[in-house]
Structure 1
């Protein structure tokens, strides 16, 4: 799925394109929630974890004063940074924790699902950004996200990975909010069957 692009039919309006992208974001948000649950279970982490509220990615703050293309660029750039963080987390987890510990099939499958859905959401927001006359350049810097070095305690590595999964959940929710607004009222209330057809 990583190489796929959102299918936009000729003559499709931006609101319909936004509705399709919102459906993808909604699916990703739910999948991120499941990934967090599986990760907490795998690592025996409680649900009462206290984490910093500082976001890991670096984009301009949200503002209703931003033009539509700037709002789309903000979300697209944040998602691109999330992809970079996720790729780093996967490599680091397999190095630090080990293949046998990481090799729980359900967790690994869900992690891949989130990664693939993120690639599809990135492609869809890129298409939508172009439709609104914006450019799809990505910001690559991250905020307060120094990757744990080789001497770091294993628990700190696990918490860094957990923060990245939380970040994915946060930005998928932010994408839903913007994309639903662009789609217009009622545009993204679609049946499960239609959503499955969009995500195929």
Structure 2
């Protein structure tokens, strides 16, 4: 187990850059998805109140990078579940509709799955964190059509928030920025010396 932990830290360095780029792209697409949904439903651009739907253990400075990634992974997992609930409900209501919004929604879902797989490989062996969803989609069913729309906006706000948090956490990993480019330069330099 100890040997694998060392590889895990090496793996964290190696995957962080790719995962950070993926998280940044996904974060931008989540912002676009929220905007696209508001436009398609003629909803105001101001945030829907009510606090975060998803809660996680606090990301305190004492946590290792791997632990922070594990906690954010748990939040992203709940984001995916909520997004899939939204997709199911919307597709039941409008099964034949094809739109730019629906295509973007599918892209976000697929990329979120990819980011989850990527961050899972960076997590601490055997250490799992749980994220809690404070309010479920079924609790909003009594609000009618408008209540459902507000719920969907809140889910998309969660996507924007947690993909942003993950992007920031992955981008701030010092090991990737400092050590990976050095090793690449060394390899390139070695190649030139041989010639």
Q: Does 1:62 align with 2:69?
A: no
Conserved in 2, the CA contact under 8 Å of 1:26 and 1:176?
yes
Determine helix, strand or coil for the equivalent of 1:147.
Answer: helix
Conserved in 2, the CA contact under 8 Å of 1:81 and 1:142?
yes
Greater Rg over alpha carbons, structure? 2
Q: Does 1:105 align with 2:99?
A: yes
User: Which is worse superposed, 16-25 or 142-151?
Assistant: 142-151
Q: CA RMSD in A?
A: 2.5
TM-score by length of 1: 0.76
TM-score by length of 2: 0.77
Matched ranges for 1:66-77 at <5 A: 66-77=63-74
Gaps of 5+ in 1: 1-11, 188-200
Matched ranges for 1:75-114 at <5 A: 75-95=72-92, 97-99=93-95, 103-114=97-108
Determine helix, strand or coil for the equivalent of 1:14.
Answer: helix
Matched ranges for 1:1-200 at <5 A: 14-52=12-50, 54-95=51-92, 97-99=93-95, 103-129=97-123, 133-135=124-126, 137=128, 139=130, 141-145=132-136, 147-148=138-139, 150-184=141-175, 186=177
For 2:39 and 2:15, locate their aligned partners in 1 and report how far apart those are by CA, in whole Å. 37
Moved over 6 A (4+): none
Q: 1:150, CA displacement in angstroms? A: 4.3
Q: Tell me which protein shows more helix as a share of its residues.
A: 2
Gaps of 5+ in 2: 1-9, 179-195
Across the two proteins, how many residue pairs are aligned to each other? Answer: 171
